[in-house]
Amino acid sequence: MPPLGIKRFRKKEKFEKAYKKLDPEIKLAVDDAIKDLLKDPPPAGRRIKKMGGHHNPDIWEIRVNHNFRMTFEIQDDIATLRNVGSHNLLYRNP
């Protein structure tokens, strides 16, 4: 995984709403995944990749745990966190 160059974050309202509904244990895993986005390069175990098959080719996903993913977009050094949830949910609504 090449360095992403992320220095800051923004959160979409959809991300905030989804995050608030998560169990505390999952919230901690999401927080760890966000911290890993700042690493240069991010850990390979996060399986960061662009989402395929979506009308917006600039949406990325990061693995939070076995079942949960988080989606984001990168512009310059800012990652906009779009959504967080189960793997299947995010493929329908990234």
Q: Confidence band (pLDDT; 50, 70, 90) for 1?
A: low
Taking alpha carbons only, the member of 71, 60, 57, 76 closest to residue 14 is 71
H/E stretch holding 81 reads strand 78-86
Q: pLDDT by residue (tens digit) across 73-89?
A: 999 999 999 999 997 77
pLDDT at 93 over 80: no
Peptide bond into 94 cis (omega under 30): no
pTM above 0.85, yes or no: yes
Q: Confidence band (pLDDT; 50, 70, 90) for 3?
A: low
pLDDT at 23 over 70: yes
Where do we find the tokens 């995984």?
1
Fold of 8-92: YaeB-like fold (3.30.2310)
Domain borders along the chain are 8-92
